[in-house]
Structure 1
Amino acid sequence: MHRSSFLTPSRLAGRRALVAMATGTLVLGAAACGSSDGGSSGASGGGAEKVGVSLITKDSTNPFFVAMQKGAKADADKNNVTLTVASGKQEGDDAGQITAIEDAIARGDKGVLITPMSNGVNAAMKKARDAGLYVIALDTPPDPADTVDITFATDNRAAGKLDGQWAAGQLAGKPAVIALLDLFNDKIVSVDYNRDQGFLEGMGIDVKDPKKNGDEDKTGKYTGGKGGDYTIVCNEPGNGAEDGGRTAMEKCLSKNPDINLVYTINEPTAVGANAALKAQGKTALIVSVDGGCAGVKSVTDGVIGATAQQYPLKMATLGMEAIAKIARGGEKPKVSPGLDFYNTGVALVTDKKVDGVDSISSADAAKICWGN
């Protein structure tokens, strides 16, 4: 399945109903952004003076970040923005992001949009704010949240919970032998612990420290669905990549070949996990988070049982519009009620519905997905 990596205004207009269905009702606060559906209204583009904005992603290869970059580039002219795109070399490259932030300061940009690699870039983001730049985190809320001016992101805890609730419903009381394929084991990243811990909470498994992966009891009872016994075999880092997911899954299978449920931090990791399972003649329920077109196709094909769909284009375009508007004297955006970030929505994508768990089909998700 091939789809454009970003939505033109005409395509976006035709998909608003589906986006509204998928993301639910979003409370936007006093919007500094011109559109609530992720498209550009052009409201920010009236200023004669160009506004410099830097978009700094974790890497430039993951389809999620590629889509974010392409969407931002397509929308920059409408907001009269001079956009500079940069990234780390790969997941974990704090130094690359720090250099890009320092370059934005030196260039005199008005703002920075960043998917923070880890807490290791907090000091650099604070330096940018101290220099007068408006800093917006995308996708990955920093810890603490007030390290940046505001975050535009998926509710990653909610995304994980949807995966866990679906998995518990699918198991229907059978024992759960679980592999948790996280992002890192040597860095603290909010998206990492929120998705992992949210998944466990959705399964009905008690977590200890909600901001720490791997400290929960390794055996016990899950209470989601019909409830049953669980065993957590492993917490292995896949670094958000397909090869990392395969290696992590191989390590988990070496510990226990009877794994029947795999949580993955993202869809490239899920694809790698499936390859490892397939190589050993095994199958398992796989859940993930992303909702890119490739991941949605994996749901259609039965590789991934369910994935929580995010909206990276919305994060990037709303963030860019906000900086452009603020630079021209407009209002600052506000967080969603009850949260410390601006919620850009999430929808569970599956073709095997579970009673009591809201979801959309892979066919509907394919109409609003991103990437190739």
Structure 2
Amino acid sequence: MNTTVKKRMFVRAAAIAATALLLGTTACSSGGTADAGGSGSEGGDSAIKVGLITKTDSNPFFVNMREAAQSAADENDVELIALAGAFDGDNEGQVAAIENLVSQGVQGIMITPNSSSGILAAIKQARDQGVLVVALDTATEPEDAVDATFATDNLAAGVAQGSWVKGSLGDTKPQVVMLDGTPGGTVDTFRHDGFLEGMGLTNDSAEVLGMEDTNGDQTKAQTAMENLLQRAPEANALYTINEPAAAGGFAAIKAAGKEDQVLIGSVDGSCTGVENVKKGVIGATVMQFPGKMAAQGVDAIVAFAKDGTKPDSGFNDTGSVLITDKPVDGLDSEDSAWGLENCWG
């Protein structure tokens, strides 16, 4: 470790400890556990430690990812140490979590970056110390800042969402509002751009009436949608970054008496989200597979820890499926019954 890194880690020691408390983290020894912010495999004496850092520890998507990572760790008889940001967008919390994991001697770290560029320096420091780093769900910018990425093709997921909305509108002119996620994340950018591509629109199109950031949070999304409806009461199509945002958006739409006016598309594939497709709250959602991302990440780190084998570099697509009970000609999709058999959360 060079002198600069040593100084930086020393200066941040107090911040790391404070952040660990905020994250609900307990340092894990062999066979120990750390619930909420951190969890340890109950395996025995394995020397292999795998770190997982999610954007938050409350979103069902990341809960499922953590559960799948724990299952994969148990199968491989290795220790999992799971941490999370305090909120969606908490880059500093994730920086501290990386430093925490490196200090605990992990061989590899899986991370869903809150900021695709803001996390790069911390990732580089970890890799410089021989730690394998893979991104899950959210790619870094640039992508080769990590050893590999296991994620949904979020541009394709956005295109599927937009294509369904466009097809469902038919000859009706689209009047689009957008509930985005967190600025600076590749997931947010790819889904947003993909949706507009599927709609055949751009950010500057007259059909796009407004956009609001929600951090993927249901309460923020409800407030944001209330604001959008005040500015654009004629809206008939809603893009949402995820299913919590879709639920918040629908609450505002229902309160305004416009539930028969606005088509809602989303991305996630949680059991709650698929139930909302079945109920007609969400017209369509694009299912992703967070458990697959986590399992592949754990397997990659275990292989590296055992014999130095690195995963295929670059982007590894873990797949997605459009779920709707109102299919559109020319678009591959599955219905909500299939979705409920394959959902997560």
State the AA in 2 paired with 1:86: L
SS in 2 for 1:328: helix
1:51-92 deviation per Cα after TM superposition (whole angstroms, max 9, x unaligned): 111100000111100111111112212112111010001101
Pair 1:272-2:269 in alignment: no
Kept in 1: contact 2:55–2:112 (CA 8 A): yes
Pair 1:218-2:205 in alignment: yes
Pair 1:192-2:168 in alignment: no
Supply the distance in 1 between the matched residues of 2:274 and 2:125 (Cα, whole angstroms). Answer: 39
Kept in 2: contact 1:262–1:287 (CA 8 A): yes
Kept in 2: contact 1:310–1:345 (CA 8 A): yes
Kept in 1: contact 2:210–2:232 (CA 8 A): no
Give, in angstroms, the shift of residue 122 of structure 1: 1.3
Pair 1:363-2:307 in alignment: no
State the AA in 2 paired with 1:278: K
Supply the distance in 2 between the matched residues of 1:237 and 1:113 (Cα, whole angstroms). Answer: 26
Pair 1:316-2:294 in alignment: yes
Aligned to 1:85: 82
Q: For structure 1, which runs of at least 5 residues remain unmatched after alignment?
A: 1-47, 208-215, 220-230
Supply the distance in 1 between the matched residues of 2:75 and 2:64 (Cα, whole angstroms). Answer: 18
Aligned to 1:249: 225
Aligned to 1:350: 324
State the AA in 2 paired with 1:151: T
Aligned to 1:158: 156
Q: Give the number of the structure with larger relative contact order, counting CA–CA contacts within 8 Å between residues 6 or more apart.
A: 1
Kept in 2: contact 1:238–1:248 (CA 8 A): yes
Give, in angstroms, the shift of residue 333 of structure 1: 2.1
One of 161, 173, 177 as aligned partner of 2:175: 177
Give, in angstroms, the shift of residue 330 of structure 1: 5.5
Aligned to 1:201: 197
* Aligned pairs (5 A) from 1:1-372: 49-118=46-115, 119-184=117-182, 187-205=183-201, 207=202, 216-219=203-206, 231-283=207-259, 284-329=262-307, 331-334=309-312, 340-371=314-345
TM-score of the two chains, using structure 2 as the length reference? 0.85
Supply the distance in 2 between the matched residues of 1:75 and 1:138 (Cα, whole angstroms). Answer: 15
Aligned to 1:225: none
Kept in 2: contact 1:50–1:80 (CA 8 A): no
Give, in angstroms, the shift of residue 254 of structure 1: 1.1
State the AA in 2 paired with 1:320: V
Kept in 1: contact 2:147–2:311 (CA 8 A): no
Give, in angstroms, the shift of residue 49 of structure 1: 4.3
SS in 1 for 2:119: helix
Supply the distance in 2 between the matched residues of 1:289 and 1:50 (Cα, whole angstroms). Answer: 38
Supply the distance in 1 between the matched residues of 2:194 and 2:306 (Cα, whole angstroms). Answer: 39
Give, in angstroms, the shift of residue 172 of structure 1: 0.6
Q: For structure 2, which runs of at least 5 residues remain unmatched after alignment?
A: 1-44
Give, in angstroms, the shift of residue 155 of structure 1: 0.1
Supply the distance in 1 between the matched residues of 2:180 and 2:121 (Cα, whole angstroms). Answer: 25
Q: Which moved more, 1:325-334 or 1:168-177?
A: 325-334
Aligned to 1:223: none
Give, in angstroms, the shift of residue 95 of structure 1: 1.1
User: Runs of 4 or more off by more than 6 Å in structure 1?
Assistant: none
Give, in angstroms, the shift of residue 98 of structure 1: 0.7
SS in 1 for 2:110: strand
Supply the distance in 2 between the matched residues of 1:169 and 1:176 (Cα, whole angstroms). Answer: 10
State the AA in 2 paired with 1:178: V
SS in 1 for 2:97: helix
Supply the distance in 1 between the matched residues of 2:284 and 2:108 (Cα, whole angstroms). Answer: 36
Identity level (%):
48
Supply the distance in 1 between the matched residues of 2:82 and 2:237 (Cα, whole angstroms). Answer: 38
Supply the distance in 1 between the matched residues of 2:297 and 2:72 (Cα, whole angstroms). Answer: 11
Give, in angstroms, the shift of residue 259 of structure 1: 0.8
Kept in 2: contact 1:56–1:97 (CA 8 A): yes
Supply the distance in 1 between the matched residues of 2:46 and 2:325 (Cα, whole angstroms). Answer: 49
Supply the distance in 2 between the matched residues of 1:74 and 1:217 (Cα, whole angstroms). Answer: 45
Aligned to 2:12: none
Give, in angstroms, the shift of residue 50 of structure 1: 2.8
SS in 2 for 1:251: helix
